[in-house]
Amino acid sequence: MDNHVAANVFGTLGAVLWSLQLLPQIWKNWRRHDSESLSAAFFLSWAMAGVPLGVYNISDNFNIALQVQPNILISLSLLTWSQCKYYRDKWNLKKILPVAIVLGAVLGGVEAGLVFALRVAYRRGERWPTTLMAILSAVLLAAGVLRHYVDMFRTRSDAGLSLRFALLDASGDVASILSVIFQPSLSILGLVIYGTEFVIWVGLMVILLYFRAARWRKGRDIRVDGPFDSTSN
C-alpha cells in the first residue's frame, strides 16, 4: 500500500514513541536511585538488537524515521543499562562512562560496516544477508523482552517494569507496523519484526497488571484483616 505521507507520519510517530518509551523507566530509576530488579542484560540486548534492525531498515530503504529509530533505541538502551550498572552493580561513573562510550562506538561502527556490506551484497543480487539482519533483530528484541517474563514470574511481581514504558513500546510497534504497511513495497519481514514485539509486549502488560492487581488485593486484605488479628491476640 504505497502512501508516502502516511508511511512517514507513522514512521515518525513510531520513532518518537520508541524515543519516549525508555524515558519513563530512566526517570523512575533516577528518581528512586534504584534500578530495582531490572536486568542490565535486557537493555544491553536491546542495544545490540538496534544494530541489525538499523541495518535492515536502512538496507531495505525504509523511510528516514524508521532508519533513525533503531539508533535512538541503541542510545537510550545503553543509558538505561548504565543506570543498572550504577545503581545495582555499584559501578562508578569513571567505569561506566568509558565502557558505555566504547560500546556505543562499537555498535555504531558495526552497524555502518554492515550497511555498506549489505549494499554491496544487494548489488550482487544477494538478499539473504538482509533477511539475516531481520531475523537477528527480531530474535534479539524478543529475547530482551522475554527476560521480563522470567523476572516477573521469578519475583511474582512487576519486577520494577514501568507500565508507561510498556505502553509506549507497544504503541511504537503499532505505529511502525502501519508505517511498514504504507511503504512503497510491503516488507513482510518488517511486519514480523514489529509484530512479534507488539504481541510480546501485550502479553507482558497483561501479566504486569495481574501481579499489580494481586499485590493490591493482598494489601487490601491485610488492611481489612489487620484489626481482627490484633483483637484476637
Q: Look up residue 40 and give its three cell numbers.
A: 542490565
Residue 143 dihedral angles phi and psi, to the nearest 5°: -60, -40
Each residue of 114-138: pLDDT tens digit? Answer: 999 998 888 888 888 888 988 888 8
What pLDDT score does 7 carry? 83
What pLDDT score does 104 carry? 94
Residue carrying C-alpha cell 510480546: 200
Asked whether 71 and 49 are in contact (CB, 8 A), the reply is no
Q: Whole-angstrom Cα distance, residue 12 to residue 57? A: 14
**pLDDT bucket at 79, cuts 50 / 70 / 90:** very high
What pLDDT score does 177 carry? 92
Whether 174 shows a pLDDT value over 90: the answer reads yes
CA distances (Å), origin 169, targets 110, 162, 165, 205, 213: 25, 11, 6, 11, 22
The pLDDT mean for the chain works out to 83
Range of lowest pLDDT (16-20, 45-49, 103-107, 130-134) = 16-20
Alpha helices (H) along 60-127: 64-87, 93-123
Q: What is the mean pLDDT of residues 91-112?
A: 93
**pLDDT bucket at 27, cuts 50 / 70 / 90:** confident
Whether 37 shows a pLDDT value over 80: the answer reads no
What pLDDT score does 74 carry? 92
Whether 230 shows a pLDDT value over 50: the answer reads no
